[in-house]
Structure 1
Amino acid sequence: MRIITLLLCSMTAVFYGQATYTSANFASVGDSFYITTPEPSALQLDYTVTGAGIAWDYSALVPQTQELIAWSNPNDSGYKTVWCFLNGFFFNCNSQFNANFNLANTATDGLVLQGFGLTNVVNHLNKTNAALQNKMIGAQVTLNGTTVPFVVSYTDPDDLYQFPMNFGDTATQPFAINANLSSFGFPVQIQSTGQRTNLVEGWGTLVTPFGSFANVLKLKSTLVQTTTITVDGTPQTTTTTTVSYQWFDPAHKIPVLEASGNLVNNQWVPTTVRFMDIQRCLTPQAAFAYVPVQPDFNPTNNGVTVNFVNLSSNYMASSWDFGDNTPLSTLENPSHTFVCPGLQEVTLTVTNTFCEPDQVNTFTIPVFVSDSQNAFTTSVTVTDTQLSADRTLTGTTYQWLDCDNNNAPIPNATGQVFTPTADGNYAVQLSTNGCVAVSDCYPFAALGNTGFTQGNSRLVPNPTTGVFSITGAASAQIQKIVVWDLLGKPVANSTDISHLAAGWYMVQWETDEGVFHQKIIKQ
């Protein structure tokens, strides 16, 4: 009788010790959880121990960073319209979309891939009584300062979990996804295929810094993935095997502990450890990235839009200073339009208001906005009669300056074109979008009353390789010749300029009829 009693007790313990985890236990729309990543020492622990009735104790994990993950309605992700359009669902978009997706979460706020930027990357999933499938990824693609929505559907969904989970269950499912970005101007194609094998390999109790769990299942998820990235027609293929150990408690809607890593020479090497947690006062760490990584001013748009990705941890509030005297932004992942080229010091300040007192951290990155089209040029074209600023951007204002008078503004000289009334050196102050710049000083030799009517006189040949001559009426009885460079310095006093560097020069000559000027180009 005693043996029978012990056997019954043992069978009862086994029966009640093994949990069952169903789709109803898993997260739904509106759920959110704090996930903590412990200090790197966590990677030294053994997460492979498994079997029946195991007591896993990871209470020694030391929290380091924390994030809030949320599960949302895929209708709110911003990618429904694009998905329906690409699949031809013009009149039944809502019904088709809702039939395919009922859950979404953010995969990453942003990343840079093959030189272009992806932001707001969102997984679109479908949870049923039998499985949780990842079926589509939506992202914002940034190219040349322009951001557009982009979706990639799995041709074979990735079955993340099978339901219900019971000890000993195993399942292997293939997956495939293919993204061709050529239509967006990126000569990039990404193809990924593989299979995921899920094995519920253990059950028992678990302890983490969050608490004790008396009834958990341990899932081993093995992902074998072959990815081919083709850039400009050149493919590069890699195959990786990732193993993730996850502990599930039916009382909680996500894994209460997860340790992931890669198989390297048949040896599992952990790379990340995360556990479900309470909100904690942890030191904030500010960090961010931005796309495009090489922003370039676009004259058509009169600026360039840069998307900033907040990579900070342990924070509840953000403040962005874009370094261009524009108002601060408190958005988590803002977009900002820079209207001037040049270097801007962008600073992110994050605050953990859960702490008492608040804890603050800042991070600064210099963002350089190029001007490949030279829209903000400060060059000036000088003719025989006037100076003309080359910048033509809409809204530009001009103020001509007298370089020989400490750059004093010249009254009423506020047009793009300026006609001096006296010899001298002149510059122009340009203001576009509130960005002010001053050109170099340009020499100008003002013409006398006869100078503007020098008739048929010409410098020939022009351009010249060295020696030129003066033809026409004004060439009679030349008394003096002076050749000036761009800085207003006399560099020659004859018609032979073969010793001068290539460029353009101003030739001045005196005759009985007056003083004359013409531009000549030395090749």
Structure 2
Amino acid sequence: MKIKLLSVFVLLSSVSMAQISILNADMPQANDNLRYSTTASTFDYTSTGANYTWDFSSIKVQNQDVQKYFSPLQTPYLLQFLSNASYGIPQSNQGLGPIGGVASNVYMFYKTSSAAQIIVGRGATIQSLPLGIVYAPKDTVFKYPLTFGSTYSGSFSGEQSLATLGTLKQAGTRSTTVDGWGKITTPYGTFDCIRVKSIVDETDSIIFNGFGIPLPNSKIEYTWLAKTEKYPIMEVVVNSLTSAVTSIKYKDIYRPEAYVNNANFSANKVGGKIGDTITLSNKSFGIPKTFNWTITPGTYVFAAGSSATSENPKVIFTATGKYSVKLSLTYEGAADDTLRTDYITISEPVVAKFACSNVMPAINETVYFTDSSTGNPTSWKWAITPTTGVIYLSGNIAQNIQVQFTQKGNYSVQLTATNASGNNIVKKDNYIQVWPTSIKPVEPVALAKFFPNPAKNFVSVELSQSGIAELTIYNILGQTVLHKTLENTSQNQINTEDLPRGMYVIEIKQNKQKLSERLILE
């Protein structure tokens, strides 16, 4: 009796840990919808062997989605793959490098049969044209039946001309081994399984103007398969060049916590002016079924044919203010949303303006520069040239600044004022004239009138008192450039045609009184 019981126990043990064989019936078919989770947990995915136990029960779900297997009739690529593919799986969009643009609506197409699961090519939409890369030879992913010790290898390649843009080409080899069997445990459950290791050495090339630009895409795929489960119980993909894990997926049940923080988006800019077009871009995890954008307040319109339900809408804002943006998503059996309060700021265009306390200061005198810009700027940057002899007492990025000039000469002043809509620059050339203290202009008295000012080839001087007057014109360095004795109280015309254009001081001395004024020749 004991011997019989022992025999039954040994038989049950061997059955519970029996090797399995994976067939086409155990794998996905067209129109299947299979839920999977992803994880960022770290664990030993390389160890394997016969009658091995893989315990991944402690991994934590990060995100979740549903993998759909579309009939070629449900894709834009039925002309290329209707007769030679069983289903297509959506892939991420891909950049086109030097060709420019993006390959969107990307699908990987598979042919399944009792003999094998084969990748027959890829489809992508480029410049609104649905294109297909049909492999010849094709990429054999799984050769049935899959049993412990099975090995096979092969090559694949395909290319698609883009007319004047160039050519897309994909080529590589795959070497596959079923290197383990046993039991695997994940948050989804415990299963008898086999472990399949595939080494894929692939190069995607963009051939442009006769030159090939290789894009290495080599990887190692570790896949745990169980009977009738269709989707891998666990799948780990590793970049062959960097040894970095690029994805971890495992079959799972619906877990609401996996959809928290799935919704994500960005804008091409978060500030602008009325009339600017701002693009909102979906950056969410997985493949949402629907999108719904809510923007408050409602002073905006959608542009370029987009709407509140577009994945990447374009928006024109029609009033100034701060706008909050919310993206709501639905997935297969789940939903998520994210709100960014006061995310976009629309402002009036800024117009830079300023004034100063004294445009003709003496050396080392403090000059106060005051911002008077419109459009509510939020940042300022002052620049005074030449920089030699300029001391910013309060820095050069405050709204209002204080400056001392330690050398005489002409100085230009520039202010850059910025708000959310952009910036504006105003520059006043030769705005500041720093004079030696000994000839700093004094307050004018009623000795004479000078006109016109600014002047060109002459300036008229009208004396208010009788008697001889001495007229002197000084340059910026305090040097006398013209001197003349005046006797008429009526207009005296002074020829300035030969003087260089610029800033001067004109001075009248009469009856022990003196009048100095700035004179501009242009």
Q: TM-score, normalised on structure 2?
A: 0.54
The answer to whether the 8 A contact 1:261-1:272 is kept is yes
How far the C-alpha of 1:128 sits from its partner, in A, is: 0.9
Who is 2:26 aligned against?
A: 25
Which shifted more, 277-286 or 315-324?
315-324
- Deviation of the 1:104 alpha carbon: 1.5
Alignment correspondent of 1:360: 337
- Kept after mapping to 2: 8 A contact 1:305/1:338: yes
Read off the aligned partner of 1:206 and give its amino acid letter.
Answer: I
Match of 1:100 among 76, 84, 90: 84
Map 1:114-513 onto structure 2 (within 5 A).
Answer: 114=97, 115-142=100-127, 147-183=128-164, 186=165, 188-213=166-191, 215-237=192-214, 239=216, 241-264=218-241, 268-282=243-257, 283-288=260-265, 311-313=284-286, 318-320=291-293, 325-326=300-301, 329=307, 331=309, 334=311, 347=325, 349-351=327-329, 360-362=337-339
Q: 1:166 to 1:212 in 2, by over 3 A?
A: same
Q: Which sections of structure 2, spanning at least 5 residues, go unmatched? A: 270-276, 345-500, 502-522
Asked whether the 8 Å contact 1:284–1:350 carries over to 2, the reply is no
Structure 1 residues 112, 226: CA separation in 2 closer, same or farther (over 3 Å shift)?
closer
User: Aligned partners of 2:282 and 2:52: how far apart in 1?
Assistant: 41
Using the alignment, how far apart are the partners of 2:131 and 2:126 within structure 1? 6
- CA offset digits 1:24-82 (Å, max 9, x no partner): 111112211222111x3x23x1101111111110011111111111112111102224x
Q: How far apart, CA to CA, are the structure 1 residues paired with 2:144 and 2:121?
A: 20
Aligned residues between the structures: 335
Deviation per CA, 1:400-440, whole angstroms, max 9, x where unpaired? xxxxxxxxxxxxxxxxxxxxxxxxxxxxxxxxxxxxxxxxx
Q: Which moved more, 1:226-235 or 1:117-126?
A: 226-235
Is the CA contact (8 Å cut-off) linking 1:74 and 1:104 kept in structure 2? Answer: yes
Query: What are the Cα deviations for residues 133-167 of structure 1, in whole angstroms up to 9, with x where unaligned?
Result: 1212222223xxxx232222123211122122111
Query: One-letter code of the match for 2:173?
Result: Q
Q: Are the equivalent residues in 2 in contact too, given 1:220–1:245 (CA < 8 A)?
A: yes
Deviation, structure 1 residue 273? 1.2
Structure 2 CA distance for partners of 1:181 and 1:289, relative to 1, 3 Å: farther
Give the residue type in structure 1 aligned to 2:198.
S
SS of residue matched to 1:75: helix
> What is the distance in 2 between the residues matched to 1:322 and 1:154?
45
Cα distance change on mapping 1:157 and 1:314 into 2, 3 Å: closer
The DSSP-based 3-state class of the residue aligned with 2:14 is: helix
Determine which structure has more spread, i.e. the larger CA radius of gyration: 2
Q: CA deviation at 1:308?
A: 5.7
Residues 306 and 176 of structure 1, relative CA distance in 2, 3 Å threshold: farther
| Conserved? CA contact 2:120–2:134, under 8 Å | yes
Please, what is the CA RMSD of the aligned residues? 4.7
- Structure 1 unaligned regions, length at least 5: 84-96, 295-303, 368-498, 500-523
- Contact 2:261–2:337 (8 Å) recurs in 1: yes
Closer, same or farther in 2 for the Cα pair 1:354/1:23, shift >3 Å?
Answer: closer
Partner of 1:414: none
- Quick check: 1:281–1:354 contact (8 Å CA) kept in 2? no
Q: Give percent identity, aligned residues only.
A: 21
Query: How far apart, CA to CA, are the structure 2 residues paired with 1:307 and 1:159?
Result: 40
Q: TM-score, normalised by structure 1?
A: 0.54
SS in 2 for 1:319: strand
Q: 1:69 aligns with which of 62, 67, 87?
A: 67
SS of the equivalent of 2:62 reads strand
**Distance of 1:305 and 1:151 partners within structure 2:** 33
Q: Is the 8 A contact 1:59 1:209 kept in 2?
A: yes
- Shift, 1:287, TM fit: 3.1
